[in-house]
Structure 1
Amino acid sequence: MTTRITHWIDGKPYGGTTERSGDVFDPATGQVTGRVDLADAATVDQAVASAASAAEVWANTSLTARTRVMFAFRELLAARKDDIAAAITAEHGKVLSDAAGEVSRGLEVVEFACGIPHLLKGDFSENVSTKVDVYSIRQALGVVAVISPFNFPAMVPLWFVPVAIAAGNAVVLKPSEKDPSASLLIAQLWAEAGLPEGVFTVVHGDKVAVDRLLEHPDVAAVSFVGSTPIARYVYETGTRNGKRVQALGGAKNHMLVLPDADLDLVADAAVNAGFGSAGERCMAISALVAVEPVADDLIARIRERMATLKIGDGRRGCDMGPLVTRQHRDKVASYIDAGREAGATVVVDGRGHEVDGAAEGFWLGPTLLDHVTPQMSVYTDEIFGPVLSVVRVQSYDEGLALINDNPYGNGTAIFTNDGGAARRFQNEVQVGMVGVNVPIPVPVAQYSFGGWKDSLFGDSHAYGEDGIKFFTRGKVVTSRWLDPSHGGLNLGFPQNT
């Protein structure tokens, strides 16, 4: 028997009916475990109307009261982390430790948003002219939409939602229909934390729901994370409809390895960053750029480590789980043959890997390709699976040019013991997030996440200072007061409410 997974509107599960629904799978067994409601335009309108009704009241709620809700939500999220991780593993397939890790990284952004009274502080200049003061404030936008991908069903919504809510907005979340349940658990926690009805809404759906959010006149801004073609579509459609849009797209992340690097450290990092979450990460390392003469030695070390990985059901203590759907698994697997046919050497073929799980699961083991060139589809395409390609170059300059010529600019890393080379790389590389001996340089919550080139549409990155600015509008006030006012007597200690 399958479970119905429905929307969260007006602070509770949706009580209406739906004409369309989609299958939700357990990727480790291949079995359908749920049916998710797919919203039509009318349901999206209902969700936005609920958010719009709540937005004005919430924006006028004091910072003190909003902050109390944020702290309560933080405590509930930390306490229920394992429950959310279990839901992610059951629908996405990533192993439990990885699922718990994504919730923890999302929790960091919640903790950042708990500082909203400080983050919204403006500037003040006294007596700029005679008895004239000038000060700046930031105010909420109203209703904002967040459209999140399947690969991080908790972390990516938590990049945007806490910042938007703390800043005084109401949020409509459209999670991936492939793994929707984590969003509903998060919705329940917001309700338990005391968030008023309508301030956080979840509407499930596909392109129909996305298009309606992009065109809806009461949605002021849209945050999106996904593939580059869809990110471009979201950005162009949303801005054409007068919305503020931040659309984070795809990636082809490179790891540049210089000859002086610690190859054991590199091998560990390449396996961790290439095959964690079955490669379904926008920050996964998919292209290892080896400056000769280290490639043969490095490949041997990576291959040894790959042989120790346990692939299987994420609830069984395995290192790597299945891919999210059978269709995606088949698409990723097709790149192995494409690489071989184009002249790459298949060092490890993940299609033959023994797995600890049901035969019907969406399995593909870690795969290693050597002698990959920039003309091959395994290099040009964002595969989004456990396929690591080794590209051999003869110098730092050749490796840097390869990375800078790539249309993507999301994340990159350099491995070296040469501080001068590392400093030169971080200055010269045309990529938004750079790691130095760090393979997955996802910024901490105080900074902002986002790439360059075809990895980002719009000029705003996620969370951090950019997130605060994206979800608010600035206003500058010039004032002159001729007479003081009197508030009467009250000897009690002043309290914030």
Structure 2
Amino acid sequence: MSITETSPAIEAEQTPLIIGHWINGASVVPANGRTTPVYNPATGAVRAEVALADETDIAAAIASAGAGFEVWSRYSIAKRQAVLFAFRELLNARKGELAELITAEHGKVLSDAMGEILRGQEVVELATGFPHLVKGAFSENASTGIDVYSLKQPLGVVGIISPFNFPAMVPMWFFPIAIAAGNAVVLKPSEKDPSAALWMARLWQEAGLPDGVFTVLQGDKLAVDGLLESPVVQSISFVGSTPIAQYIYETASKHGKRVQALGGAKNHMLVLPDADLNLAADMAINAGYGAAGERCMAISVVLAVEPVADELIAKVAERIGTLRIGNGSSTPEPDMGPLITDVHRSKVSEYVDIAEADGATVIVDGRGFSVEGAEDGFFFGPTLLDNVPTTSRAYTEEIFGPVLSVVRVQSYDEGLDLINSGQFGNGTAIFTNDGGAARRFQNEVQVGMIGINVPIPVPVAYHSFGGWKKSLFGDAKAYGVHGFDFFTREKAITSRWLDPAAHGGINLGFPQND
């Protein structure tokens, strides 16, 4: 099966720059000399070096955020809302700049980078309406002459640790709500694509956010542990692999922090015999190979209820042959770009080796794929596997690449049991024209986000994002009402203003309502 290639418009790589932190409203390049390369995945060339924080940088970032919080938390709701609206307008006007930056460092095609920004912007727009969501409640005369009311107040300094696959959207799942609620944010982006975070920091400054309220701390595990262990940082929001999510949750909880840690996934798509197979094939392509499969909501397993597997596989394979792979900045734009690093490409290739050794049939093989003129790019072709054993690591573990596995099942119940027996519970989908089957599925499947004839069921911003089982550690999902609850804490106040003409006298009994 041939795959159409697109030649990249390779730009001359300049001498690598040092990408620093954003502390107290300014870019800071530390003197410690610790850096790691940032690649252009489409060319394989180093485009910059990113600074890696040491203890001094970590302390400076957290201190700056603490000072920013003292200023920002005293802003009125009206003033905070004005800054959020200004950020929203600036982001909307200049989102093309951010999309180009994401494509250059992550490798996803420009339209996909733009889609990421627009989904993140939904949360910004939700946050602009925050006054309604941070209101307290009031009960007048709860007892004679006594009023009881509640206040929602910010936590303080909050930490966000974001992954490489969505350098703009995932931080925007958290920081608009955190900032709207009056907190100060320290964002630790992935060292693989760190520039989007700095771009957004400058945009916040232009929008009028006080210095220190949005801080960017570049780094590796040292920076992560610094946030987890700091007594100043009150909460941690994380998206990444399950082992790291579990580490984040356990470590931050041990240090008394609130935690929302979103982990990995192995998302299944159950295709019933009555489904529209053309729709199912299109959606399997979109959800399996978009962003080169580097999505936590990617469909990686198609559960085909017999007798539809052969026909569905043929349709998917045919569509793979039309995909154009290349530099995401090319004109015309390709359908899929490279993987993030050469190391990750090797890991994805190893999973295909494992599946094949375990007895799977390789229908379309993306191993060894390259793009003419960009042979050093980190490209991996879309791969389609059939009859993948459910005991294989290629089935049980998250591959995070453009590999779509087909598992043949004999019934709805068998497919449901496979989904529910997995360690992950992030997202799933069912394709069917039977409303009763769909309704049964949404009630019986043990997964946090469900699509019905929709392959990537990422909720809109006014709902909340998060899975079950080993896909989420902590009680709070991302954004939506969960987000505002997570980034605020409540005070309950019982108040009595005495009538100067009356006094209740001394009573040592337990307070009660007469």
TM-score band, normalised by the shorter chain? over 0.9
Question: Is residue 84 of structure 2 the alignment partner of residue 70 of structure 1?
Answer: yes
Q: Which residue of 2 aligns with 1:276?
A: 290
Query: 1:278–1:385: 8 Å Cα contact kept in structure 2?
Result: yes
Q: Which residue of 2 aligns with 1:188?
A: 202
1:439 CA drift (Å):
0.2
Give the match's secondary structure for 2:197.
helix
Question: Is residue 482 of structure 2 the alignment partner of residue 466 of structure 1?
Answer: yes
Q: Which residue of 1 aligns with 2:392?
A: 376
Q: 2:269 aligns with which of 240, 243, 255?
A: 255
Give the match's secondary structure for 2:237.
strand
Give the match's secondary structure for 1:80.
helix
Query: 1:310–1:355: 8 Å Cα contact kept in structure 2?
Result: no
How is 1:82-481 mapped onto 2 (pairs within 5 angstroms)?
Answer: 82-316=96-330, 317-351=333-367, 353=369, 355=371, 358-481=374-497
Runs of 5+ consecutive residues of structure 2 not aligned to the other structure: 1-14, 501-514
Whole-Å separation in 2 of the counterparts to 1:354 and 1:241: 47
Aligned amino acid, residue 111 of structure 2: S
Query: 1:310–1:356: 8 Å Cα contact kept in structure 2?
Result: no
Query: 2:30–2:57: 8 Å Cα contact kept in structure 1?
Result: no
Q: Deviations over 1:461-491 (max 9, x none)?
A: 000000001111011111122469xxxxxxx
Query: 1:311–1:356: 8 Å Cα contact kept in structure 2?
Result: no
Question: Is residue 44 of structure 2 the alignment partner of residue 23 of structure 1?
Answer: no
Whole-Å separation in 2 of the counterparts to 1:55 and 1:91: 31
CA spacing shift, 1:9–1:483, aligned 2, 3 Å: farther
- Provide the alpha-carbon RMSD of the alignment: 1.1
1:351 CA drift (Å):
2.2
CA spacing shift, 1:478–1:251, aligned 2, 3 Å: same
Q: Deviations over 1:349-406 (max 9, x none)?
A: 0125463551000010100000012101110110000000000000000000000000
Runs of 5+ consecutive residues of structure 1 not aligned to the other structure: 485-497
Aligned length: 484
Query: 1:312–1:357: 8 Å Cα contact kept in structure 2?
Result: no
TM-score, scaled to structure 2 = 0.93
Q: Deviations over 1:314-348 (max 9, x none)?
A: 01100000000000001101111211110000000
Whole-Å separation in 1 of the counterparts to 2:29 and 2:217: 13
Aligned amino acid, residue 461 of structure 2: A
Give the match's secondary structure for 1:152.
coil
Give the match's secondary structure for 1:118.
helix
1:46 CA drift (Å):
0.5
CA spacing shift, 1:128–1:343, aligned 2, 3 Å: same
Larger displacement relative to structure 2 (332-341 or 22-31): 332-341
Query: 1:313–1:356: 8 Å Cα contact kept in structure 2?
Result: no
Whole-Å separation in 1 of the counterparts to 2:146 and 2:438: 50
Whole-Å separation in 1 of the counterparts to 2:377 and 2:403: 18
Q: Deviations over 1:106-129 (max 9, x none)?
A: 000000000111111122211111
1:41 CA drift (Å):
1.5
Give the match's secondary structure for 2:367.
helix
Query: 2:20–2:30: 8 Å Cα contact kept in structure 1?
Result: no
Whole-Å separation in 2 of the counterparts to 1:177 and 1:65: 33
Whole-Å separation in 2 of the counterparts to 1:337 and 1:178: 26
